[in-house]
Amino acid sequence: METFTPTARTQLRRRSQRAVYDKAQVHAILDEGFICHVGFVLDGKPHVLPTAYARSGEQIYIHGSPASRLMAAKGELDICLTVTLTDGLVLARSAFHTSINYRSVVVFGKARLVTDLIEKWQALRSFTNHVIAGRWEQVKQPTEQELKATGVLSLPLEEVSAKVRTGPPIDDEEDYSLPVWGGVVPVLQQFGEPAPDGRVLDGIAAPSLSR
Amino acid sequence: METFTPTARTQLRRRSQRAVYDKAQVHAILDEGFICHVGFVLDGKPHVLPTAYARSGEQIYIHGSPASRLMAAKGELDICLTVTLTDGLVLARSAFHTSINYRSVVVFGKARLVTDLIEKWQALRSFTNHVIAGRWEQVKQPTEQELKATGVLSLPLEEVSAKVRTGPPIDDEEDYSLPVWGGVVPVLQQFGEPAPDGRVLDGIAAPSLSR
């Protein structure tokens, strides 16, 4: 089993039984999500922004306007990128043991600004195909001008940890006799029926979704 | 309409048509989500952690172990708390205009450590009832020891902005003639069938869910 090596930042200090450093599990979490939260420091203060991402091998790509503060830092900014999948409400018989089932990945590092046009192209393809397989091959691909108008950062999967809670509530033994329902309510992220924008040409079907 | 006043940090610099400062809209986003991402700075580096939250009036409460780095800072830490609801995949006919419909709220500020036991109690009630109305009144409420073993932070809703994208893709006019499907695929967060943990007493029904 290939694993990430814990560092001072990624070594879980509490609830270490929930820690996961297995690369395959980390990759699976990253591949299931598609929105991450990116933290960075400006003027000594924390900033956290949601953005789309895609994994490609041992890197995560994010993108945005080259004018954004994140992109304008040109890869010299330390970032912390977090992906969280919410799996269930864990309803214990006591308020204290009530919890949430989740899988989260935290990646620390410096993100590199992608300047090579080929790598940028491949990164954009990975965004588009991450959620809907094969979509990149159907759509109009970016012009050189559009490519230049897109900032892409690459964050290596090096300093990484995951944290996972699964399973039923763990109540205090005496509380199992209480007349209170205990168990898990699954939280599901699902795709609804595709809604065409009214200008789709005749005979063009909605894409089939990979989840 | 009551609004938040933009500051240097919350004034959207780009895509300002997506900015929302209306308090009612901000409250509605916060009340629909239940997981936030909290950013803070340690040793000059950003950290982003997912955690549950609840709004109570003009405050957001988060909780955790008093030993956690976030709680141990005892409210002297600047934080950035971000809530993101993902509403849809916006499938344009070109890769460049492909987007995501979302609603996000960003709150900056210093979080205050809640030490008053009554306020802590009320905060914990708001967590429990935020997702499942009335659950707090059914479960075993915390003992004084459990209350002391729970750290609660309160973040005022003062420096706040929201960002919202809705609607169909905006393709370049000439791209509407391409044989590519365009529209929105809704992304839905839903609750599944409650799964009892096997020790629920006879005659106790699963809770009814508020969403």
- Residue A39 distance to chain B (closest CA, Å): 6
CB-CB neighbors (< 8 A) of B189 in chain A: 86, 187-189
pLDDT in tens, A108-149: 999 999 999 999 999 999 999 998 999 999 999 999 999 998
Indicate yes or no: CB of B146 within 8 angstroms of CB of A96.
yes
Smallest Cβ–Cβ distance between B95 and the set A41, A140, A201 belongs to A140
User: What whole-number percentage of chain B has pLDDT above 90?
Assistant: 80
pLDDT in tens, B104-162: 999 999 999 999 999 999 999 999 999 899 999 999 999 999 999 899 999 999 999 99
Instruction: Tell me, yes or no, if A173 comes closer than 8 A to chain B by beta carbon.
Output: no
User: What whole-number percentage of chain A has pLDDT above 70?
Assistant: 98
| DSSP class per residue in chain B | --BPPP-TTTS--S-GGGEE-BHHHHHHHHHH--EEEEEEEETTEEEEEEEEEEEETTEEEEEE-TTSHHHHTTT-SEEEEEEEEEEEEEE-SBSTT-EEEEEEEEEEEEPEEP--HHHHHHHHHHHHHHHSTTHHHHSBPPPHHHHHT-EEEEEES-EEEEEEE-SS----GGGGGSS---EEEEEEEEE---EE-S-PPTTPPPPPP--
The pLDDT-based confidence of B75 (bands split at 50, 70, 90) is low
As to burial, measured by CB atoms within 10 angstroms (0-12 exposed, 13-18 middle, 19+ buried), residue A116 is exposed
pLDDT in tens, B187-210: 999 999 999 999 999 999 999 885
CB-CB neighbors (< 8 A) of A93 in chain B: 139-140
Question: ipTM, 2 decimals?
Answer: 0.95
pLDDT in tens, B99-109: 999 999 999 99
Indicate yes or no: CB of A84 within 8 angstroms of CB of B196.
no
- Domains detected in chain A: 16-169 (2.30.110.10)
Q: What pLDDT score does A75 carry?
A: 64
pLDDT in tens, A156-203: 999 999 999 999 999 999 999 999 999 999 999 999 999 999 999 999
Q: What pLDDT score does B181 carry?
A: 97
Instruction: Tell me, yes or no, if A124 comes closer than 8 A to chain B by beta carbon.
Output: yes
